[in-house]
Amino acid sequence: MVATKAAVEGGNHTAIGHSNRVSSGGAALLNGTSAHGEDFDDTFEGGPVHSGVVLVPALLAAAETWQLPNDRTALGISVGSEILCRLALTLPKAVHKAGFHPTAVLGTFAATLGICVACNANAKVTANALGIAGSMASGIIEYLGDGSWTKRMHPGWSAQSALQAYSLARAGFIGPRKVFEGTHGAFSTFAPSISPLVENLFEDLGARYVSDTITFKPYPCGTMIQPYIDCAIGLQREGIFLDGIVSIDCKTAEGIVHRLWEPLSLKRKPPTAYAAKFSVPFGIALGLVRGTATLGDYTEESIQDPVLLNLSSRVGFEIDPQNPYPKAFTGHVRIVYEDGKTIEREQDHMRGGASDPLSRSEIDAKFSDNLAFGGVRNSDELLTICNEIASGVGDFNKISRLAVK
């Protein structure tokens, strides 16, 4: 965050948790990057995409720019979140397959629409804004190869781009009308391997909200790793022995192999603490050894821990052709010992999702833990402000209270 903070321009907008004021685009970039930085944000089974880290920074910055009441801000967040989830269902697995980050690409469109709705833009401005957003959508997943930081900034960049797309359209700039379905539109560019399932974008729109099933992560790491960690922690709590393990075999979905399993040598020995967040073998090792996977477990010290590395080096996978991904995220761990004994555990869902939600008290505790990890202690006061903004109480002036004095 130090680098991102140093890179943004000064201005009159709120950087959450910081005392200095920044530009509107800087606020969107900084807040989106910090929200996604530890990969502890919300996710959507069926995508996967992360809505909050794009929509909230974009709409908070828009609210301060155009002095919006909080009910319009909350409406923009809600609309954008729903459209982001539906766009993910329209292009299942295909955006990742093409080498792009769905949150970054689709989030730009969703945040742009959210801002248009919040600002009560007319149809012409909205259409142009979405058309312009198509030339701003970006985000490749090459960070997986070396654990570099670019994924962290993707939501912030999308939020910043959405502000610019709306500003240009508001001023009369023209964007392509067929930005999604055109010959060179977003669907064919970012998801060329499939025909888009457009029925998922429009079916029961406004009557059924797929965003109601958004999942809150229990662990600060890649989404599809979470059920594997649950399995490992479950085995650890049963009191399994770590000595004499020959192999740890896992069934997995083909769609996540290139991001979370390969190259296997790198995943077994992550080069950075950030890379460890996208390693199933390392996540399983944390669960089996420590029985936890917290913000404090993904550190440079942890990736040098010989006990963790010894176990992660034994983790392998086999593709299960019946795996339901991306409709559901599953986990499976089978431990094989030298004497031939095997112990196995599996989970057919991601905890924190619609089928096994976290309680409100657990979510509030996660909020406090995140703030404490970042060195902020007045979590109760900040949670009250967040709840007021989300419920539509007051106007944009409340947003500045999210800064640290």
Q: Which domains does the chain have, with CATH numbers?
A: 2-217+358-402 (1.10.4100.10), 223-347 (3.30.1330.120)
Percentages (nearest 5) of helix, strand, coil residues in the chain:
55, 10, 35
Model pLDDT for residues 149-181, shown as the tens digit of each residue: 999 999 999 999 999 999 999 999 999 999 999
Asked if 88 and 106 touch (Cβ cutoff 8 Å), the reply is: yes
Inter-axis angle of helices 280-290 and 226-237, nearest 10: 20
> What per-residue confidence (pLDDT) applies to 45?
83
Which runs of consecutive H residues, i.e. helices, occur in 291-330? 306-312
> Residue 32 gets which letter from DSSP?
H
- The amino acid occupying position 213 is T
Model pLDDT for residues 10-29, shown as the tens digit of each residue: 999 999 988 899 999 999 99
For 74-107, b/e burial (b = at least 16 CB within 10 A) is: bbbbbbbbbbbbbbbbbbbbbbbbbebbbbbbbb
- The amino acid occupying position 71 is D
210 three-class SS: helix
Q: Which residue has the tokens 């479950």?
A: 234
Residues facing 216 on adjacent strands: 42
> What per-residue confidence (pLDDT) applies to 199?
97
The C-alpha atoms of residue 55 and residue 78 are separated, in whole angstroms, by 8
> What per-residue confidence (pLDDT) applies to 312?
98
**Using omega within 30 degrees of 0 as the cis cutoff, is the peptide bond preceding 218 cis?**
no
Asked if 222 and 47 touch (Cβ cutoff 8 Å), the reply is: no
- Cβ of 333: how many Cβ atoms within 10 Å? 27
Contacts of residue 18, defined as CB under 8 A and 6 or more positions apart, other chains included, come to 5, 30, 403, 404
> And the tokens for 65?
């720019």
Contacts of residue 203, defined as CB under 8 A and 6 or more positions apart, other chains included, come to none
What are the residue ranges in the chain where pLDDT is below 50?
none
The C-alpha atoms of residue 109 and residue 364 are separated, in whole angstroms, by 29
> What per-residue confidence (pLDDT) applies to 377?
79
Asked if 169 and 134 touch (Cβ cutoff 8 Å), the reply is: no
The C-alpha atoms of residue 177 and residue 182 are separated, in whole angstroms, by 8
Asked if 173 and 164 touch (Cβ cutoff 8 Å), the reply is: no
> What per-residue confidence (pLDDT) applies to 405?
61
For 130-160, b/e burial (b = at least 16 CB within 10 A) is: bbbbbebbebebebbeebeeebbbbbbbbbb
How far, CA to CA in Å, does 375 sit from each of 18, 217, 291, 368?
11, 21, 25, 10
